[in-house]
Structure 1
Amino acid sequence: MDSVSRGHKLAAIVDFAVPVCMANYLGIDLGTSSLKALLLSDRHEVLDVAEVPLAVYTPHTGWSEQSAEDWWAACCEALDALASRQVAGMAAVRSIGLSGQMHGAVLLDDEDVVLRRAILWNDGRSAEDCAVLSRCLPDLPQIAGNLAMPGFTAPKLLWVAREEPAIFARTRSVLLPKDWLRLKLCGEKISDMSDAAGTLWLDVAKRDWSDELLQATGMQRAQMPQLVEGSAVGGILRPELAHRWGLRERLLMAGGAGDNAASAVGIGAVSPGDGFVSLGTSGVLFVCTPQYLSAPHSAVHAFCHALPGVWHQMGVILSAANCLRWVTGLLGRDSERALLDEVAMLDDTARQQAPIFLPYLNGERTPHNDAAASGVLFGLRSTHAPAAIGYAVIEGVAFALLDCLQALTNSGTAVGALGLVGGGARSAEWAQLLADVLEREIHVYADSAHAAAVGAARLAWLADGGNTLTVCLKPDVSARLVPNLENTGRLRGRHARFARLYAALKNEFDVENRKS
């Protein structure tokens, strides 16, 4: 039976009266746990946010799927909510931008009917297909900027061809999640460079589909959407939908971005050297680069940014804030905040004696590229309290992000101070731990929980003629956390144990995976 995880309840953040003369921009962010619709003014004010939870289906261990129709229902619910609360604000909208979870495969037939539930970014079923793809096309990492990993889109199509050949034969086009929403909103099959870079079908340096990569998975250009830059026009809203939501006719849509590139735009990380850490369902260490820099040997991602002529590198871990959600439920705590409050009470001795946690609940990407990796709590004692286990979990996520940082710096990328975004950014405890582990200054922003949705709205603003210098501003910093030198030595020793533990268990993960 499918298991279902649900996000938070529909919530409004602010409900201001909006002057008719104001220009507003609408950002729609299709996440994994929820869809957000955000109304942004041309004075950089977030006027309102509507959020609708989404179900994730796990029919088998290592599988992760969502229904595209659930996305559309959530989108309509969120925009209906904004339309009812923000009549003048919606009438002042000049453009719409999209952000979305990357890599998901939405398969359509020749009448654009969805053929199966979308296979998501954190789905590990195509590990075998990645190995086949890598053997058949050794040049893939140089063209795509990335290793073949189960999370990416192309290997999913190999799996479908192998396990569901009738569906593969009927597939006439493949869209990424946010771009399927675009199809529903404007009737066009269009994607942007940043999201397309996560398919393994894009020549990332050339910012164009690669015929060689497509052919390796039995696909062709005719099955791919048109490509535009994230800040360019990418469609016109359907008239009947504009009428439904009180929006002007002929409302343009921007190309938009994958969620991480959108978050970067949302916090003004658009110039070489700008970077951030994201503590969402997954974890990301993101740094802008002045040109295409490929370092696939350490599972570093090289992607196009959402703006023309800009690229970025990322280290990605598949489990971050969801590790905290998992352990909160496991320990029977009322909330993640309650558990973190207990963690904050631990002294240095208790932290030093806490278990070591490998946060590989869904396998891992950077630097291991190991779909078989599993979560581990090592060194448990009868004396360990729930707070020690909670600490081990957030420390383990921080250690995995340190592995990402080391992979990026080893590839020659300079990484300075880092912003912090995502749900985990609300925790001062976790933010300080990241500063201590990464040995970098961490900037916490006044409001970064909706960075991807703000980035989508800003891309809409740019598509409407806005200037990058005035649109992509950095938000106010509410806290600057510097590394605590008294903690860094202790944490280095624990990270060394963390690294040795993965190395010692790698072959055991492989055995476990073969049995499943």
Structure 2
Amino acid sequence: MTLVLGIDLGTSGVKSVLVDEQDAIVAEASAPLQISRPKPLWCEQAPQDWWRAAEATLDTLAAREPARMAAIGAIGLSGQMLGVTCLDEADQPLRPAILWNDGRARAECAEAEAAVPDFAGLVGCRAMVGFPLPKLRWLARNEPGTLARTRRVLMPKDYLRLQLTGVAASDLTEASATLLMDTKAGHWSDELLAACGLSRDQLPALVASHAISGTLRTGLAARWGIPGDTPVVGGAGDNMSGGVGAGIVAAGQASISLGTSGVYFLANDRFLPARGQGMHTHRHAVAGLFAQNGCILSAGAALTWVAALVGAGDVPALVREVEAASLPIDETPVFTPYLSGERTPHDDGGLTGTFSGLGMATTRLHLVQSVLEGVAMALGDCHRALHETGAAIAQVSLVGGGAGSRLWSELVASAIGMPLRRAPSASVGPALGAARLARHGIGGPLVAGAAGSEEEIAPLPAMTEALAGKRQRFAAHLALR
């Protein structure tokens, strides 16, 4: 039996999975990552840490599953998107990567749009804080020496590809989110490159998500017991790879990812540029489809933050404690999850998080549950913003680590007013999607697993009513800035 390997570089860690011909995950390993916040609004990671974490997961799999590693037929990559990684002539990082949730480049967004006529029509969305083009303009202004020494710019998962294969390449999903690509045409745009002072030779070659981009280095293949010349396919950004992992492979299908951020992802067979509300349209990993996205910047990140605030080291255990407490929603504070600003629907990096409705009876568990509720209500805002574009949403799947919480899943379903499909593999969606793309790249089906294994999480009428009762206070924060 031929297996495929999916590697997902997330913000909080790297996860690698081995997937069989029926889409079953037969082995997995993970390694943690940390975010550096050296200044307000800054979020960075060292690319070298990404590679060390990826190595750790593959070392673990090689030690535990040597026979299965020897059966790998292809490798797929997924990763956190938008992270600007500047490399020198020796392909060494010149500085820490500037991540997707970094808020420093606010002024550069308006400048980028002013420099390119019909900016949104070309790239699929407005210039927003956290996206690569504004951050590259920020570097040109504040760290000109860095850009002067930059031989190439890569996104996070493509840095892993470079280490694995020696090839500098990216895929269309990732490239379309840089704001440097003509999204409908599918190639780098000289007009957009001029807006940040880059040239095409500083950017990677582009391949389809299922196309072979290179082969695993001989030394690494020997180290991990993987067959020589194993192909590595283009892969996809984590939103799109997570969509493939959740089976979002046809127009009208959607997913919500509860990871570090919260992403509402909809597959569409038309290119519909997003011109406001912090929405964005990119390429999907499935040929012929586009991806409409809404994103809240702090989902799992907000939960991790409040866990640290209340002194809890084990976040899953804390969530289980909250679930066991069965706290009434009308007794919890209202939380706005704008800890890193907000993208959808506000497109405002200056928004801040708040608790309101605190009292002497408020406990640590009330605070934690209010964070789960606030994230759910923010995803409800994403849902409404997507509907306002005219998008037809036929079904929604829930993926990401947060999908493991029954309470959080029910809160999200109740906030959007639609049932959610939750698969057994929901927590490894992007890694599974990367593995599926790898299999497709060597001639196999994109989705091989049998349908019908998903659990349906229905909206709860009482929960829907209780969340609706909090919406006025939730929305009132915008007037208090």
The TM-score with structure 2 as length reference comes to 0.96
* CA gap 1:63/1:454 in 2 versus in 1, 3 angstroms: same
For 1:144 and 1:308, the matched residues in 2 are separated by: 18
1:355 paired residue number? 333
For 1:328 and 1:75, the matched residues in 2 are separated by: 26
SS of 1:471's partner is coil
* CA gap 1:436/1:77 in 2 versus in 1, 3 angstroms: same
Please point out which of 330, 338, 360 is paired with 1:382.
Answer: 360
SS of 2:38's partner is coil
Please point out which of 56, 61, 76 is paired with 1:97.
Answer: 76
1:499 paired residue number? 475
SS of 2:427's partner is coil
SS of 1:450's partner is helix
1:17 paired residue number? none
Asked if 1:486 corresponds to 2:462, the answer is yes
For 2:426 and 2:151, the matched residues in 1 are separated by: 38
For 2:451 and 2:340, the matched residues in 1 are separated by: 33
1:466 paired residue number? 444
Q: How does 1:139-178 map to 2 (within 5 A)?
A: 139-178=118-157
The answer on whether the counterparts of 1:133 and 1:148 sit within 8 Å (CA) in structure 2 is yes
The answer on whether the counterparts of 1:461 and 1:471 sit within 8 Å (CA) in structure 2 is no
For 2:433 and 2:316, the matched residues in 1 are separated by: 27
The answer on whether the counterparts of 2:329 and 2:466 sit within 8 Å (CA) in structure 1 is no
Asked if 1:49 corresponds to 2:33, the answer is no
Please point out which of 307, 312, 318 is paired with 1:328.
Answer: 307
Q: Which has the higher contact order (CA 8 A, sep 6+)?
A: 2
Gaps of 5+ in 1: 1-21, 509-516
* CA gap 1:473/1:310 in 2 versus in 1, 3 angstroms: farther
AA aligned to 1:416 is A
The answer on whether the counterparts of 1:458 and 1:472 sit within 8 Å (CA) in structure 2 is no
Please point out which of 270, 274, 290 is paired with 1:311.
Answer: 290
Q: CA deviation at 1:491?
A: 2.0
For 2:60 and 2:461, the matched residues in 1 are separated by: 48
Q: How does 1:286-301 map to 2 (within 5 A)?
A: 286-301=265-280
For 1:340 and 1:91, the matched residues in 2 are separated by: 38
For 1:282 and 1:474, the matched residues in 2 are separated by: 27
- Point out the more displaced range, 413-422 or 157-166: 413-422
Render the CA deviation track for 1:431-454: whole Å, top value 9, x for unaligned: 111111110001221221111111
SS of 1:381's partner is coil
For 1:93 and 1:419, the matched residues in 2 are separated by: 28
Q: CA deviation at 1:341?
A: 4.1
Asked if 1:285 corresponds to 2:264, the answer is yes
2:400 paired residue number? 422
For 2:90 and 2:394, the matched residues in 1 are separated by: 49
For 1:318 and 1:282, the matched residues in 2 are separated by: 5
Asked if 1:106 corresponds to 2:90, the answer is no
2:47 paired residue number? 68
For 2:280 and 2:449, the matched residues in 1 are separated by: 23
AA aligned to 2:339 is L
- Point out the more displaced range, 216-225 or 330-339: 330-339
Q: CA deviation at 1:332?
A: 2.6
AA aligned to 1:463 is G
The answer on whether the counterparts of 2:36 and 2:45 sit within 8 Å (CA) in structure 1 is yes
Render the CA deviation track for 1:85-125: whole Å, top value 9, x for unaligned: 21111111111100000000111122322211111111111
AA aligned to 2:264 is L
The answer on whether the counterparts of 1:462 and 1:471 sit within 8 Å (CA) in structure 2 is no
1:265 paired residue number? 244
Q: How does 1:12-27 map to 2 (within 5 A)?
A: 22-27=1-6
For 2:17 and 2:337, the matched residues in 1 are separated by: 31
Root mean square deviation of aligned Cα: 1.7
The answer on whether the counterparts of 1:265 and 1:472 sit within 8 Å (CA) in structure 2 is no
Following TM superposition, the consecutive aligned residue runs of length 4 or more in structure 1 with deviations greater than 4 angstroms are: 345-348, 472-475
Percent identity reads: 43
* CA gap 1:346/1:248 in 2 versus in 1, 3 angstroms: closer
* CA gap 1:495/1:353 in 2 versus in 1, 3 angstroms: same
* CA gap 1:191/1:245 in 2 versus in 1, 3 angstroms: same
Q: How does 1:89-238 map to 2 (within 5 A)?
A: 89-238=68-217
For 2:303 and 2:314, the matched residues in 1 are separated by: 10
The TM-score with structure 1 as length reference comes to 0.90
* CA gap 1:472/1:231 in 2 versus in 1, 3 angstroms: farther
For 2:425 and 2:468, the matched residues in 1 are separated by: 31
Give aligned pairs, total: 481
For 1:147 and 1:295, the matched residues in 2 are separated by: 7
2:413 paired residue number? 435
The answer on whether the counterparts of 2:329 and 2:463 sit within 8 Å (CA) in structure 1 is no
Render the CA deviation track for 1:406-440: whole Å, top value 9, x for unaligned: 11000010123311111111111111111111100
1:340 paired residue number? 319
Q: CA deviation at 1:475?
A: 6.9
For 1:472 and 1:217, the matched residues in 2 are separated by: 43
For 1:212 and 1:361, the matched residues in 2 are separated by: 34
Gaps of 5+ in 2: none
Q: CA deviation at 1:334?
A: 5.2
For 2:387 and 2:315, the matched residues in 1 are separated by: 32
The answer on whether the counterparts of 2:264 and 2:293 sit within 8 Å (CA) in structure 1 is yes
- Point out the more displaced range, 198-207 or 104-113: 104-113
2:424 paired residue number? 446
1:411 paired residue number? 389
The answer on whether the counterparts of 1:257 and 1:306 sit within 8 Å (CA) in structure 2 is yes
The answer on whether the counterparts of 2:2 and 2:20 sit within 8 Å (CA) in structure 1 is yes
For 1:205 and 1:40, the matched residues in 2 are separated by: 32
For 1:88 and 1:342, the matched residues in 2 are separated by: 40
The answer on whether the counterparts of 1:64 and 1:120 sit within 8 Å (CA) in structure 2 is yes
AA aligned to 1:427 is S
